[in-house]
Structures are given as structure tokens and as C-alpha cells.
């Protein structure tokens, strides 16, 4: 598969099926005319080309950069016409005005504040107002879709408006850039690039796990910037000490400044978020519906937003009003569909990874405390997140019969009642499992 096709495949995962079918399906990568820094795509007509350019060009450039380490100029051409130069100029102008990959809608004012995220929000605000001072580095951690990238980019947007030079990179981009520069023997340029910024934002640092050379390079970049008083902000899905395969010297540096975690939103925060997202997307929902959604949907805010957009699209497609019944139906299909996509294998893998035990231990009869706990959690999640029956789950875990599962379920429900931390952990695990579907599960 060439890079353009890969990018389109990735884009497919990030947008809704209907958007994909309508706009992106007919988009073709022109590998002959493209260069490493100019990615040319063609589509059928000028209207789609314009639409794709405004809606997706940035995203395509971003995905392309993730793949190649180079941010290209993206050109959406129309088959058989000579729009290339015109489009090229428009895009050039647009791209000059924004040199980083920050999403302009991730600001402090679009972020809904609640108990679960107030620490991270307040510290981020303080960092934006006073970078390189009290909280350096700022390390934000928490589960999937809880607002880490949003807050990190809110800091970036705030500083960019004041004229600071910002680098926002996912760890993946940092890694790709690193490998490309190593390959071409241009590490001096790599170092210049990272060490000449006022604010370095590294998103999803957990993927640095066990990548020794990248850790080494990041260590030096970190030290250099830190000693110059430049602010560093890092996000991760877990606390530094929980990132397996992270060198101690990096762990300790990540703890120098401020560790701020984001928890899954409590009900009130979820309600406030749903209201805000509905408003931003021009969707009218009455309170009854908002409450229903808040109790039914999980804590991944990206998914909550996706669901809202889907409900809205369905309502206009079917020309039906968004009533409680309509939403119930829509959600039910959606929840069932989600369930069918999750297997116990995935659950076991993720629980094992997060709790640092082996998947085979979870399926074994070992009685070590850590393993028993992990097994119980896996059973609980298997029961809640997959359509498997208790007997089926019993077979999977090599247990006698369904009563053993039912017993394990009772036990863990009891523990969850009294253990807030476990509740949060389970919420985070569910989130992760629902995000990493079986199809795109990657061994790390
Ligand atoms: P993470 O990086 O933690 O996985 P993101 O920052 O990408 O999550 O957030 C996922 C989506 O949810 C984004 O669209 C973001 O704007 C939204 N979001 C998350 N938390 C909030 C919040 N407190 N208020 C408003 N939107 C939020
Ligand atoms: Mg993120």
C-alpha cells in the first residue's frame, strides 16, 4: 500500500462512515505527481474538492506527517481540470498562517470543567499564563478520550496567540522524525528543530515504552529545553511510574514538575459536556434526553461526541425528530454493535498489559493476589462488554461452570461498591477496550 492509500485508510477510521462514503471514497491518491512534501489527491468534481480541502486537508496533512515525518502540502485536484495551481496557492496561504498542528477548537473556553478534570485544567491554565516556571514539566495523564490532548493544545493555542514557537508532536511523530533523520544522517537538524521552540508538547508519551534510542534522544531534548527554562508538556494514558519499559531517569524527570491526572467525568460533568457538545454541533436536545445519554454512554468524551453527531445525522436522514424514543433506538443499535466487536481475548490482553501480568496467567489457575485480581476484572469486563453468556465465559477462563462466574461477578461488584480507585480503573479499562477494537489491536 502506498502512503496515500495508508493515509486514506487512517482517515477512514477517524471520520464517520457516511462522511467517508460521501466525500472520501472517491478520493484517489496521485502517486505519480506527488512528492514527499506535496501530496496530491484527485476527486470527481470541484465542489467535493473544495469541501474536502476545507474539511479534511489538515487532517490528511497530519496523517501524512505521522506516516512520513514530513508535513506535506495537500492538494485536492479535480480529475481532468487545471485547478491544481489555483488550489495550490490557496492552500499555501492557509498553511503559512499555521505552522503547528494544533487544532484551533481545542481551547480553554471550549473545555467543560468538572471535578474529574479541574486539577489538570487549573494547572494547564497556570502553565499557559506562566510557562517554564512552577510546573515544568507538566505531565497530564488519564484514560482515553478524557481531554488530555484538548488541554495540552489549549496551552499551545494560548501561547501561539502570544507569538511563541510551539511544537506539538505525538510521540509517534517524534519517533518517525527521529528515524527519518537517523536514516538520512541529519540528526543535527533534528536537534535544531526540537531545541528551538518555546513550548514542547508531546502527546501520548506512553508509546515510548521500550524504545531505548528514542528515550535517549528525548532525554537530551528534555534536558536542553528544561535548562533553558522552556516549558514542556507531556500527556500519557498512565502515570510515569506505571509506564513499563520507561527508563528511571525519564520517570524521575517527568515527576520533577507537576503530575495532573484526569478522571472519567462524573455524571454532572458528563451532562454539562453533552450539553456543550450538542450546542457546538447545533443539535437540540431536551434535558430528559441529555440525562438518558449521560447515564447510558461511557466516559470517553470522543465517543460521546461521535454518538451525538450520529444521532443528529440519523434524524436528518430519516427526517425524524430527536425524541427520547428515537435516541433510545439509535443508542441501542449502537451499543449492541459495539458489544459484538469486542472479544474476551482483547479484554484479557488489555487487562494483562495494564496490570502488568501475563495474558496466560489470567487464563491459568494461579492464585497469586495480583493475578486473581486481574482475572476477576477480566471476567467482569467480559460479562459487561461482550455478548458472551456466563457459561461461555466460564469455558474461556477454564472455570467449572457458570456459578463460578456468577460468584466472581458478585465478589467484584461488592469490591467496586467500596473502592473508588477500582471503579476508576475499570472505567478506564472499559474505555480502552472499547477504543481498541479487535480488528486494530496491535501488539506493542
Ligand atoms: P484524550 O487526549 O484524553 O484521549 P481528547 O483531548 O482528544 O482526549 O478529547 C477527546 C474529545 O473529547 C475531544 O473532542 C475533546 O474536545 C473532547 N473533550 C474531552 N474533555 C472535554 C471537556 N472537559 N470539555 C469539552 N470537551 C472535551
Ligand atoms: Mg489524546
Write out pLDDT tens, residues 91-107: 444 443 333 478 888 99
Name the pairing type of β-strands 28-29 and 38-43: antiparallel
Same domain, 51 and 68: yes
User: Are 128 and 108 spatial neighbours (Cβ–Cβ below 8 Å)?
Assistant: yes
Distance of CA 239 to the CA centre of its chain: 16
- Hey, whose CA ends up nearest to atom 6 of ligand 1? 147
Name the pairing type of β-strands 199-203 and 166-170: parallel
The DSSP call for residue 364 is: S
Same domain, 211 and 241: yes
The DSSP call for residue 301 is: H
Same domain, 56 and 175: no
Same domain, 194 and 158: yes
* pLDDT one-digit tens code per residue, 6-63: 999 999 888 888 788 888 888 999 887 777 778 888 888 777 787 888 888 988 998 8
Number of domains in the chain: 4
104 within some domain: no
pLDDT of 99 reads 38
Same domain, 432 and 315: no
192 within some domain: yes
Angle at the Cα of 318 (from 316 to 319), degrees rounded to 5? 60
Ligand with minimal distance to 111 CA: 1
107 within some domain: no
- d(C-alpha 290, C-alpha 112), whole Å: 15
Ligand with minimal distance to 265 CA: 1
* Residues 6 or more apart whose Cβ sits within 8 Å of residue 357: 370, 371, 374
Atom of ligand 1 nearest to the CA of 106: 16
Ligand 2 center–CA 126 separation, angstroms: 20
Same domain, 396 and 435: yes
pLDDT of 53 reads 85
Same domain, 125 and 257: yes
Domain final residue pick, 340, 356, 372: 340
User: Which residues are bridge partners to 200 per DSSP?
Assistant: 167, 232
Atom of ligand 1 nearest to the CA of 117: 23
**Residues of the chain with pLDDT > 90: what percent?**
60
Looking at per-residue confidence, does 334 or 267 come out higher? 267
Same domain, 130 and 43: no
φ, ψ for residue 17, nearest 5 deg: -60, -40
- Hey, whose CA ends up nearest to atom 19 of ligand 1? 147
Atom of ligand 1 nearest to the CA of 153: 6
Residue 191, burial from CB neighbour count under 10 angstroms (0-12, 13-18, 19+): middle
* pLDDT one-digit tens code per residue, 341-372: 899 999 999 999 989 999 999 999 999 999 99
- Mean per-residue pLDDT over the chain, rounded: 88
Report whether pLDDT(215) > 50. Answer: yes
- CATH number of the domain within which 190 lies: 3.40.50.300
- Hey, whose CA ends up nearest to atom 23 of ligand 1? 112
Atom of ligand 1 nearest to the CA of 110: 25
Domain final residue pick, 262, 289, 324: 262
Top mutation candidate among 103, 301, 428 for ligand 1, by most atoms within 8 Å of CB: 301
78 within some domain: yes
111 within some domain: no
Looking at per-residue confidence, does 259 or 94 come out higher? 259
* pLDDT one-digit tens code per residue, 430-441: 888 887 754 444
Helix or strand run (H / E) with residue 175? helix 171-183
Atom of ligand 1 nearest to the CA of 203: 2
Closest CA to 44 of 63, 57, 25, 60: 25
112 within some domain: no
Same domain, 183 and 61: no
Same domain, 16 and 33: yes
DSSP notation for 134-147: SSSSEEEEESTTSS
- d(C-alpha 251, C-alpha 248), whole Å: 5
- CATH number of the domain within which 62 lies: 3.30.300.180
Ligand 2 center–CA 22 separation, angstroms: 27
In this structure, the residues whose C-beta lies within 6 A of any atom of ligand 1 are 106, 111-112, 117, 144-150, 273, 276, 301-302, 305
Domain with 296, as residue range(s), is: 267-340
- CATH number of the domain within which 329 lies: 1.10.8.60
From 69-78, 80-89, 240-249, the region with the lowest mean pLDDT? 80-89
Beta-carbon count within 10 A of 248 CB = 9
Neighbours of ion ligand 2 (CB under 5 A): 148-149
Ligand with minimal distance to 300 CA: 1
- Hey, whose CA ends up nearest to atom 25 of ligand 1? 111
Residue 156 vs residues 124, 171, 234, 269, 417: alpha-carbon distances, Å: 10, 16, 12, 24, 39
Angle, helix 267-280 to helix 301-318, in steps of 10 degrees = 50
pLDDT of 337 reads 78
110 within some domain: no
DSSP notation for 200-265: EEEE-GGGGTT-HHHHHHHHHHHHHHHHTT-EEEEEESS-GGGSTT--HHHHHHHTTSEEEEEPPP
Residue 338, burial from CB neighbour count under 10 angstroms (0-12, 13-18, 19+): middle
113 within some domain: no
Atom of ligand 1 nearest to the CA of 262: 3
Name the pLDDT band for 287 (thresholds 50, 70, 90). very high
Closest CA to 331 of 359, 303, 360, 372: 303
Is the Cα dihedral 305, 310, 313, 315 positive or negative? negative
Same domain, 143 and 220: yes
Ligand 2 center–CA 263 separation, angstroms: 14
Closest CA to 112 of 301, 239, 282: 301
pLDDT of 88 reads 52
* pLDDT one-digit tens code per residue, 177-190: 999 999 999 999 99
Same domain, 204 and 324: no
Domain final residue pick, 312, 340, 368: 340
Ligand 1 center–CA 83 separation, angstroms: 37
- d(C-alpha 444, C-alpha 441), whole Å: 9
Amino acid at each position: 500500500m502506498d502512503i496515500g492509500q495508508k493515509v486514506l485508510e487512517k482517515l477512514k477510521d477517524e471520520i464517520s462512515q457516511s462522511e467517508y462514503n460521501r466525500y472520501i471514497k472517491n478520493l484517489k491518491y496521485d502517486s505519480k505527481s506527488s512528492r514527499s512534501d506535496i501530496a496530491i489527491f484527485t476527486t470527481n468534481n470541484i465542489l467535493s474538492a473544495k469541501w474536502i480541502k476545507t474539511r479534511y486537508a489538515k487532517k490528511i496533512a497530519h496523517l501524512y506527517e505521522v506516516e512520513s515525518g514530513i508535513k506535506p502540502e495537500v492538494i485536492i485536484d479535480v480529475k481532468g481540470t487545471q485547478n491544481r495551481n489555483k488550489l495550490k496557492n490557496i492552500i499555501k496561504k492557509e498553511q503559512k498562517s499555521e505552522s503547528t498542528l494544533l487544532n484551533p477548537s481545542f481551547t480553554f473556553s471550549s473545555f467543560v470543567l468538572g471535578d474529574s478534570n479541574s486539577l489538570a485544567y487549573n494547572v494547564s491554565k497556570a502553565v499557559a499564563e506562566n510557562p517554564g516556571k512552577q510546573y515544568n514539566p507538566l505531565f497530564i495523564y488519564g484514560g482515553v478520550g478524557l481531554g488530555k490532548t484538548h488541554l495540552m493544545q489549549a496551552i499551545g493555542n494560548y501561547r501561539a496567540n502570544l507569538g511563541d514557537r510551539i511544537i506539538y508532536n505525538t510521540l509517534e511523530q517524534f519517533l518517525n522524525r527521529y528515524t527519518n533523520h537517523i536514516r538520512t544522517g541529519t540528526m543535527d537538524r533534528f536537534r535544531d528543530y526540537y531545541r528551538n521552540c518555546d513550548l514542547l508538547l508531546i502527546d501520548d508519551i506512553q508509546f515510548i515504552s521500550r524504545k531505548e534510542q528514542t528515550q535517549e534522544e528525548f532525554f537530551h531534548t528534555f534536558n536542553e529545553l528544561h535548562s533553558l527554562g522552556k516549558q514542556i508538556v507531556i500527556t500519557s494514558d498512565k502515570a510515569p511510574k506505571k509506564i513499563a519499559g520507561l527508563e528511571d531517569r525519564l520517570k524521575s524527570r517527568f515527576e520533577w514538575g507537576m503530575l495532573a491526572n484526569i478522571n472519567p467525568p462524573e455524571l454532572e460533568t458528563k451532562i454539562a459536556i453533552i450539553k456543550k457538545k450538542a450546542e457546538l454541533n447545533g443539535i437540540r436536545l431536551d434535558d430528559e434526553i441529555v440525562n438518558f445519554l449521560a447515564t447510558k454512554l461511557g466516559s470517553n468524551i470522543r465517543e460521546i461526541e461521535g454518538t451525538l453527531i450520529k444521532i443528529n445525522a440519523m434524524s436528518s436522514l430519516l427526517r425524524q425528530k430527536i425524541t427520547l424514543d428515537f435516541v433510545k433506538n439509535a443508542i441501542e443499535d449502537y451499543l449492541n454493535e459495539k458489544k459484538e466487536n469486542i472479544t474476551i481475548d482483547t479484554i484479557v490482553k488489555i487487562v494483562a498489559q495494564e496490570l502488568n501480568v501475563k495474558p496466560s496467567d489470567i487464563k491459568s489457575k494461579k492464585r497469586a493476589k495480583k493475578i486473581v485480581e486481574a482475572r476477576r476484572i477480566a471476567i467482569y469486563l467480559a460479562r459487561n462488554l461482550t455478548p458472551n453468556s456466563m457459561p461461555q465465559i466460564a469455558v474461556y477462563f477454564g472455570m467449572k461452570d457458570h456459578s463460578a462466574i456468577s460468584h466472581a461477578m458478585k465478589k467484584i461488584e461488592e469490591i467496586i461498591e467500596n473502592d473508588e480507585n477500582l471503579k476508576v480503573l475499570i472505567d478506564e479499562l472499559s474505555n480502552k477496550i472499547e477504543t481498541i477494537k479487535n480488528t486494530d489491536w496491535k501488539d506493542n
